[in-house]
Chain A
Amino acid sequence: LAKTTQPISMDSYEGQEVNITCSHNNIATNDYITWYQQFPSQGPRFIIQGYKTKVTNEVASLFIPADRKSSTLSLPRVSLSDTAVYYCLSGDNNNDMRFGAGTRLTVKP
């Protein structure tokens, strides 16, 4: 299982784009990168998953460079309700992913 490293916390303001970078230097060939969002006292919620290059859905984009040793979650135009903890996980279909220390994002008015 690849270990991931993220910033402990980040601050932003409403309407800004937020980029959270995750480092996974030992990622294996079959590993995917998955991001979850968690609000206090709620279960984590899936945001996006990718393997290589760029993935975009209705809430976020995920950028993964060619060497796959890092990935960046991009949240466009954040709002106060995006204040949460964001987790980057890596793993493949044969190994359950582990949550590491997430990034606490605080969006200010």
Chain B
Amino acid sequence: AAGVIQSPRHLIKEKRETATLKCYPIPRHDTVYWYQQGPGQDPQFLISFYEKMQSDKGSIPDRFSAQQFSDYHSELNMSSLELGDSALYFCASSVDRGGDEQFFGPGTRLTVL
């Protein structure tokens, strides 16, 4: 069965650079979620989209922005990267918003040097 696809799987950036993470949800899933998980931490909800509109907003820094496109894929744009942004970034998708079962992707490991 098709799963959530994230790219790239690994990314190394310098401080103050920008990064773009991509997420391709499971076909016919119209809700996408972004999470950040630092080393030894629990997943922190960043932002979600339902039918290409922002659905809910969590602890996403102002330096980050995201959107969901007409084909339902989503991109997380990160600017002015800081050392503390080094983390695993997970994307998840679900058929519907809110409490529906979320299917997580493999994650993108971002390292900021």
Contact = CB atoms under 8 A, between A and B. Distances in A.
Interface stretch (A19-27, A37-45, A70-78): A37-45
Contact of B42 (A34, A46, A99): A99
A45 B90 CA distance: 12
A95 B90 contact: no
B43 to A, nearest CB: 4
Contacts of B35: 99
A54 to B, nearest CB: 19
A43 B100 contact: no
B107 A43 contact: yes
Interface residues of B, number: 27
Nearest to B6: A43
Instruction: State which size class the interface on A falls in.
Output: 20 to 34
A93 interface: yes
Contacts of A100: 42
A91 B101 CA distance: 11
Given A96-B45, A96-B48, A100-B42, A43 B106 contact: yes
Given A31-B99, A93-B99, A42 B45 contact: no
B99 A32 contact: yes
A46 B33 CA distance: 14
B50 to A, nearest CB: 9
A93 B102 contact: no
By Cβ-Cβ distance, the 9 closest A-B pairs, closest first, are A43-B104, A93-B98, A96-B56, A99-B43, A46-B101, A32-B99, A43-B90, A91-B99, A99-B42
